[in-house]
Every structure is written in structure tokens, then in C-alpha cells.
Amino acid sequence: MPPLSSIRPVIRASARNRLGGRPPTTLPKKLRVPMSAYVVDCAVYVDGERVEGRWAHDAAIEEVRRRGEGFVWIGLHEPSDEQINGIAETFGLHELAVEDAVNAHQRPKLERYDDTLFMVLKTVCYVGHAEPTTANELVETGEVMVFVGRDFVITVRHGRHSGLRDVRHKLEADPEQLALGPASVLHAITDHVVDAYLDVTEAIEDDIDEMEAEVFTPRSTMDAEQIYVMKREVLELRRAVMPLVAPMRKLTEGYSSLVPHEVRSYFRNVDDHLSTVAERVAGFNEILTTLVDAMLARISMRQNNDMRKITAYAGLISVPTMIAGIYGMNFDSMPELHWNFGYPMVIILIGLICGALYRNFRRNGWL
């Protein structure tokens, strides 16, 4: 087994094509990155058991092919073009799939390149907040890309919360499942991702219930912007879940010989969970739309009440304003202008009219 320091990444295939088919050259020293910087783990599995030793990617696949059994599982974390090129050359990965694996923000999908499957999954993580009604972000997303061949699995992760260490440990504790081959790893990863969807939907459901109670609480301080924040996060979750439905259905229907019949039944269970998540997400969207409509109706009702009060007070103020304006015109010949009881009579008249208006407004619910 060669030491890790002997591994040299080479320029990618597309660059070699631009050089007119000349033999690949090694990268300059400044571009060489230690394998441990981007390879999280590299292991050889035979009959469901991990073969002891620390493996480089080329030595690992040589060992598997020499034995004629087992497979290699390599885990990468946010590799660059130069870092993944050596592995891509060794395992014969398609350059388009490699480009997608390096560049994050891909749509969930399942593609077949000759004898290799390439699957993209979006991972989600719920960000807890003391008050969901004041949160700016509730769902963080990442990505996991999986290359599956007859004797290898390569995972490429993007994001802080997309770790697969627990998945690897769980599989290593179940040799019978791991002995089913690379497809068992793909199943474990999809199951892990979809289970995270379930956890996030449960947390979002609790937040939506709290928002719903807040919306219909009298004199609530909640505004429509907080519902829009939740709606945006649900749409982010929807973009992760809904595109994955069709690829998952393909895995249950024998899309590739790389997924044996024994593993398809496990994918059916994952597909059932994914369908449950999709239904929940669709329900969340409908509920939030209803809450937005209820909030807008509530705001409109509040504005109508405010306008009624303003109109009522304006009517009350207009009575003394009108009378004072009439008697402020400074004409000599006006009724009761020089009468001793003229001023008290006007004050009493203003009071009576305003009192009648106030009583009428109160009876009609304007004040």
C-alpha cells in the first residue's frame, strides 16, 4: 500500500482535451493539497467488514479488484477541481458529473453514466430559535453527491451539517447490510437525508401551530412579514424534497442493475417516508397561505376600525367648528349676537349635538 504522500493529483480531463490530447502532466507544487484536507475517509469493505489499514484511493480500488470482491467508499468534503481530478481519473467518473459534484447548488437528481450512477441530494437542518415568529432563518441546506459503481462509492459533501460519519458507523455496525454492496451505502445515505426531512417538518409543524395560535389571538403583535419568512423557509424545504420524488421512484423500480433487488425493498421504505414529507410540505404551504390571508384580512379590519374612529371623531369636531365658524364671521345683524344668553345657548347646543352624535357612533360600533 503506497503512502498518502505519494498521491499526485493531475489536471482534469477537460484541460487535457484542450491541450490537444497530450499526456496529462502533474500539477505544480503550489496546487498539491494533502489528501487529508479534502478526503474525510477512504475505506475498503469486504463481506461487510472494513479492511484494516489506511488507504489511498488508487491503492484501495486496486486491492478490491485484486480480491475480486468488496468495494471502496471514499468520502470527500467540498473538493476543488484539482483535488477531485485524481480520484475522477482513477474511477473513470464522467466529467459532467464531476463538474456538478464540485459546483454546489445542484437540483436533486439521479443520472446514469455508463456503469456509474450519480445522485444529488439536498440536506436540510432545522435552526432552532426561542421565538419562531421573530426568526430570520429556520432551515439551512447543504448537498450530498453520490457516485455509485460496481465496486466503489464516492460521496461529495457541501455544507456544515451534511456529515455522513454517523451513517458510516451505523453501516459498519451492520455487516449484513453493508455486504449488499455499494447500493446499500446509497440507501443508507438517502434514508439519512429523508429522516432529516421528517425531523425538520415536525419542527416546522410546531412553529406553524404556534404562528396559527398567534394569528388568531386578540390584540396579537404578530405581523405578516413573519409568516412570509416561514413561507420562504417552507419553499426552501420544498425545493429540496419535491425534485427528489422522481429519482427515488426510479431506484425502487429497477432503474439500474447497480441497485440489486435486495436493496430495492429498502428504497421503497425511503420512498414512503419521502412521500409523507412531500404531503406535509404541501400542507404547510396551504396553511401558510391561509394564515397570510387571515393576517391581511385582520389588518384590513383593523384599518377599517381605525378609519371609523377617525371619521367619528372628525364628525364630532366638525359640529363646534361649524358653529364657531358661523359666529366668527363678524356680522352685526346676526341672531342672538347681542343677547346675554347667546353664548351659553350655543355651548349647550354644541354639547347636545356632539352628545347625540357620540351616542349614535357608540351604538353603531364606531367608537
Q: What is the pLDDT of residue 366?
A: 76
Asked whether 230 and 290 are in contact (CB, 8 A), the reply is: no
* Chosen domain end from 275, 298, 321: 298
**CA quadruple 164, 58, 257, 260: dihedral positive or negative?**
negative
pTM given for the model: 0.72
Does one domain contain both 153 and 272?
Answer: yes
Residues 61-118 pLDDT 10s: 999 999 999 999 999 998 888 888 889 999 999 999 999 999 888 899 999 998 899 9
Q: What is the pLDDT of residue 24?
A: 39
Does one domain contain both 70 and 185?
Answer: yes
b/e per residue 235-244 (b: at least 16 CB within 10 A): ebbbebbebb
Does one domain contain both 292 and 311?
Answer: no
Does one domain contain both 90 and 122?
Answer: yes
Asked whether 187 and 175 are in contact (CB, 8 A), the reply is: no
Residue 40's φ and ψ, nearest 5 degrees, are -75, -45
Q: What is the pLDDT of residue 137?
A: 59
Q: How far apart are CA 93 and CA 247, in angstroms?
A: 20
Instruction: Give the count of alpha carbons within 13 A of 87, CB side only.
Output: 29
Q: What is the pLDDT of residue 310?
A: 85
Does one domain contain both 119 and 246?
Answer: yes
CATH number of the domain to which 321 belongs: 1.20.58
Residues 273-320 pLDDT 10s: 999 999 999 899 888 888 888 888 877 877 787 788 888 888 888 888
Q: What is the pLDDT of residue 157?
A: 92
Does one domain contain both 310 and 283?
Answer: no
Q: What is the pLDDT of residue 7?
A: 34
Give 120's pLDDT tier (boundaries 50, 70, 90). very high
Domain carrying residue 106: 4-298
CATH number of the domain to which 243 belongs: 3.30.460.20
Q: Total domain count for the chain?
A: 2
b/e per residue 274-293 (b: at least 16 CB within 10 A): beebbebbeebeebbeebbe
Does one domain contain both 187 and 335?
Answer: no
* Chosen domain end from 298, 333, 348: 298
Does one domain contain both 190 and 44?
Answer: yes
Give 131's pLDDT tier (boundaries 50, 70, 90). low
Give 344's pLDDT tier (boundaries 50, 70, 90). confident
Does one domain contain both 207 and 259?
Answer: yes
Does one domain contain both 250 and 351?
Answer: no
Does one domain contain both 268 and 342?
Answer: no
Does one domain contain both 93 and 218?
Answer: yes
Contacts of 251 (CB under 8 A, 6+ apart): 110, 186, 190, 259, 264, 267, 271
b/e per residue 205-229 (b: at least 16 CB within 10 A): eebbeebbebbeeeeeebebebbeb
